[in-house]
Amino acid sequence: MNRAILLSGGKGLRAGGDIPKQYIDMGGEMMVIRALHALTSHPQIDSVRIVAEEEWRDRILDAAGESSKAKIEGFSAPGKNRALSILNALNDMKNVSDEDNVLIHDAARPFVSAELISGCLSGLKDHEGVMPGIPVKDTTYVCEDGRIKALLDRSSLRAGQAPEAFKLERFKKALEELLPDKILEINGSAEIAVLDGMDVAVIPGDEKNVKITTAEDVKKLSSYG
């Protein structure tokens, strides 16, 4: 099975406003619903577990629609950081098989394409993990104490995106080995896999698959769509 985790537990404080960014309205639907529909409408995704605070769960279900609700496995509690939220979702999954894959996506990336999801899942045929990456366009430097120390070769640099896909049991084991303290230092999903020595492939990302992070991003939502 190809199981998905949709992370929607963040506070979204950098985006301003009175509610977390993933719940703002995007042309008649919440941002999280746009991301959810991208997952549930994909023919290769068998189930979706959503990480969200309890106060938002009924609203997500009410807005999801019947076809999406059929693929929602349930909800999990947000953790102190991304890694713990993912671990909560993995621990809550039922009837997990050694053959299962997990695709992890952010509610704050509402424009993910079916092609990108397919690419991540396809890459798992030959690798333990897959991450989309965008080439770094700007000249990039290593700086210390306000001074440039080195210039990086940007041809080998990639900015990571979600979704990221992994062999489920292998990835869960990598997460558990970071407990109890190191897991709090983790920022990205692929970081977990790389630290554990997993074979993670990078596929071409999508410039339209933007992450809505700041108040300025929110203002530009209509142009992204």
Q: Is the model's pLDDT at 39 over the cut of 60?
A: yes
Cα 200 from Cα 187, distance rounded (Å): 16
Span of 4-18, 30-44, 109-123, 205-219 with lowest mean pLDDT: 4-18
Confidence class for position 222, pLDDT limits 50, 70, 90: low
Q: State the average pLDDT over residues 49-56.
A: 97
- Number of residues in the chain: 225
Span of 75-84, 118-127, 176-185, 216-225 with lowest mean pLDDT: 216-225
Q: Is the model's pLDDT at 225 over the cut of 90?
A: no
pLDDT tens for 68-126 read 999 999 999 999 999 999 999 999 999 999 999 999 999 999 999 999 999 999 999 99
Span of 82-96, 166-180, 209-223 with lowest mean pLDDT: 209-223
For residue 217, what pLDDT is reported? 76
For residue 13, what pLDDT is reported? 56
Cα 12 from Cα 110, distance rounded (Å): 14
Number of alpha helices (DSSP H) and beta strands (DSSP E) in the chain: 9, 12
CATH number of 2-224: 3.90.550.10
For residue 223, what pLDDT is reported? 59
139-to-94, 133, 134, 142, 150 alpha-carbon distances in Å = 46, 17, 14, 11, 11
Q: Which residues are registered as beta bridge partners of 118?
A: none
Q: How do the domains of the chain map onto residue ranges?
A: 2-224
Please give the model's pTM, rounded to 2 decimal places: 0.93
For residue 49, what pLDDT is reported? 98
- Cβ neighbours for 12, distance < 8 A, ≥ 6 positions apart: 19, 20, 21, 22, 108
For residue 216, what pLDDT is reported? 79
For residue 18, what pLDDT is reported? 78
First-to-last C-alpha distance (Å) of the chain = 30
For residue 10, what pLDDT is reported? 78
Q: Are 166 and 105 in contact (CB under 8 A)?
A: no
List the structure tokens of 40.
């549930």
